[in-house]
Structure 1
Amino acid sequence: MKAIQITAPSEMKVVDIEKPELKPGEVLVKIKYVGFCGSDLNTFLGRNPMVNLPVIPGHEVGGVIEAIGEDVPESLKPGMSVTVNPYTNCGKCASCRNSKVNACEHNETLGVQRNGAMCEYIALPWSKIIPASQIPPRDCTLIEPMSVGFHAVSRAQVTDIDIVMVIGCGMIGMGAIVRSALRGATVIAVDLDDEKLELAKRVGAHHTINSMTENVHERLTKITEGFGPDVVIEAVGSPATYVMAVNEVGFTGRVVCIGYAKSEVSFQTKYFVQKELDIRGSRNALPADFRAVIRYMEQGTCPKDELISKVTKPETARQAMEEWAAAPGKVFRILVEFD
């Protein structure tokens, strides 16, 4: 079967691999679409230290069930539209012991620590199959990245009395904006791109700030009447946005970090103490986060077409990745179509 493989930095090609054999307890999924995410871009650029090349990328999946193995629940049926939970959990580490399997110490994500789903078929344990029968396979690719943003909002314990600032309006940031708005919070979206900020308004942001052209602190002071946001969710992963999160969050506020900064970050640690901050990491997502995204998407208000920047074929995937690398700020998601 056909698959896409990243063989070395800036090298991507279509290869032929064996179609997986279905084992007991597994489901065979026919892949229709797979999304390229930021980790795939970093792998392509040689900036992902967790990857061992060559690797088949891809963990944002939209497909249909092709076949069912033995000992699989009857609720999973051939032809059903699905996405997948791309993470593993060992069941033995501290995170798993504490029922936080999303942060398993030994997690292996599809397309990162193990070969991913950017191929025609994939076989996975039935417990990793997430039914989404009311959502077309193309749109199922948006579920996993949005669930990461949803999980960050859960980590922040957002309520309807909170003012939440989300830094970064990519796919994961959009998920955080959506979930915060669904919980009734007042949401402030911060980004460098006006088009992304306009879309952030459509999915629930009440205020937007272009940090390239506006003074973020002055705008926040006005919006929050000088108190600062109750919650800041960092969804960029740069030293500047990490510092912004700590500096701008209100006293006794919560800072939730999703993005990985690629270099060391210097903080005024006095703010940690003076503000008595809760600073929390947020990794991957839990099954409940996937279900919440599916419910949101079933409501029909998600601007799915705007969130999908480009659909390409396996043979032109490398070109699409090169275009994304040249203008990363203009892309939400690039999908590869295998159908």
Structure 2
Amino acid sequence: MKALICNEPGSLALIDRPAPLRGDAEVLVRIRHVGICGTDFHIFGGKHPFLEYPRVMGHELSGTVQEAPEGSDLKPGDPVYIVPYLSCGDCQACRIGLTNACRNIRVLGVHTDGGMAELISVPAQNVIPTGGIDLRDAAMIEFLAIGAHGVARGHIGARDRVLVTGAGPIGMSAIIFAKARGAHVTVMDTREDRLAFATDGLGADASVIATSDDAARLAEGDGFDVVIDATGAAPPIERGFAFLAHGARYVLLSVVRQDISFSDPEFHKREATLIASRNALPADFAEVVAQMQAGRVPTQALNTHRGPLADGVALFQDWSRPQAGVIKAILDL
């Protein structure tokens, strides 16, 4: 079978490799579409801290069932998406239902080879019927579930004033699901094109260019009931504490390698809550599918770039450039 492999930072190759053998409790899936994530670009650029090369990337996956275990509800040809978090089922986190925070988690395309290949075999519980969602759209379910999980972690409701910092794909997913709950959403970013898309295409209520003056203006007044950081950088995460209203929740969708710091007196004075949001749970994936079925996710607008796996080497080089204007790129097989 064909697979796109990252041999080392900056080096991709389309290779032939043996097709995987299906395990007893696994489903063999023929991959049809692969969403390209910021994680994939970090792997390609040599910026991922927890990865060994060579690696077949790809964790935003949709396809059709090739083989399923005897007795499975799935049958060959069924359209499915893949939950890429392989949890152990035995650790304390798994025992309380936090499979997204499994102590021994393996993420497809990161800790183990992923789906930029014609076939992949994964545990049956990780293969989910699309519910009628178009297969190309289904390749975007995983990244959207990240935002849906963060919104759920923040307990966002219709009366909340929400600030989303960072208008990349993950920030956009947070905007979509905060708006689905009826919240008033302001988005802040350094890029005017991303802000325009967030307001015109996603329904954000207001936008702010991230400069020191605008940040100071945002920090005035009552602040926001919920702040969601999706910047992926420590300085804006630290600055985000200033935007919290009294009693607010601060949801960190971003994760950074370095320590972050904040004013403890200010944090206590506001009796704020700091919330980590990692990966997503089955309920979040189901929420994404439900909102897609209801027509509340602008999938065509989000999917700005696509092309065949056979051209993946050249496409990755092009799509990794900021000037390419990628929101969500998808490889087709």
Distance in 2, matches of 1:133 and 1:91, equals: 26
1:322 maps to what in 2?
Answer: 317
> Quick check: 2:176–2:297 contact (8 Å CA) kept in 1?
no
1:60 has 2:55 as partner: no
Distance in 2, matches of 1:90 and 1:68, equals: 21
Distance in 1, matches of 2:330 and 2:283, equals: 25
Q: 1:300-335 CA distances to partner (integer Å, 9 max, x unpaired)?
A: 242222211211223432333223333178321221
1:31 maps to what in 2?
Answer: 31
Distance in 2, matches of 1:213 and 1:246, equals: 14
Structure 1 residues 265 and 320 mapped into 2: Cα distance closer, same or farther (>3 Å)?
farther
Distance in 2, matches of 1:262 and 1:328, equals: 26
Q: 1:230-287 CA distances to partner (integer Å, 9 max, x unpaired)?
A: 1001111112220122111112211111112244434333322222221111000000
Distance in 2, matches of 1:181 and 1:92, equals: 36
Distance in 2, matches of 1:214 and 1:78, equals: 57
Distance in 2, matches of 1:306 and 1:196, equals: 12
Q: Where does the alignment leave 5 or more consecutive residues of structure 2 unmatched?
A: none
> Quick check: 2:149–2:277 contact (8 Å CA) kept in 1?
yes
Distance in 1, matches of 2:315 and 2:211, equals: 27
Residues 1-339 of structure 1 mapped to structure 2, 5 A cutoff: 1-72=1-72, 74=73, 76-201=74-199, 202-212=201-211, 215-219=214-218, 221=220, 226-327=221-322, 330-338=325-333
Q: 1:200-232 CA distances to partner (integer Å, 9 max, x unpaired)?
A: 2232311111214961332464xxxx2100100
Distance in 1, matches of 2:44 and 2:10, equals: 5
Structure 1 residues 162 and 31 mapped into 2: Cα distance closer, same or farther (>3 Å)?
same
Distance in 2, matches of 1:193 and 1:213, equals: 14
> Quick check: 2:318–2:324 contact (8 Å CA) kept in 1?
no
Question: Is the partner of 2:86 in helix, strand or coil?
Answer: coil
Task: Report the Cα offset of residue 172 of structure 1.
Answer: 1.5
User: TM-score under structure 2 normalisation?
Assistant: 0.94
Task: Report the Cα offset of residue 147 of structure 1.
Answer: 0.2
Structure 1 residues 220 and 272 mapped into 2: Cα distance closer, same or farther (>3 Å)?
closer
User: TM-score under structure 1 normalisation?
Assistant: 0.92
Structure 1 residues 328 and 85 mapped into 2: Cα distance closer, same or farther (>3 Å)?
farther
Distance in 2, matches of 1:90 and 1:30, equals: 24
Distance in 1, matches of 2:320 and 2:259, equals: 23
Choose between structure 1 and 2: higher strand proportion. 2
Distance in 1, matches of 2:85 and 2:245, equals: 34
Query: Which is worse superposed, 136-145 or 317-326?
Result: 317-326
Distance in 2, matches of 1:42 and 1:289, equals: 25
Structure 1 residues 165 and 38 mapped into 2: Cα distance closer, same or farther (>3 Å)?
same
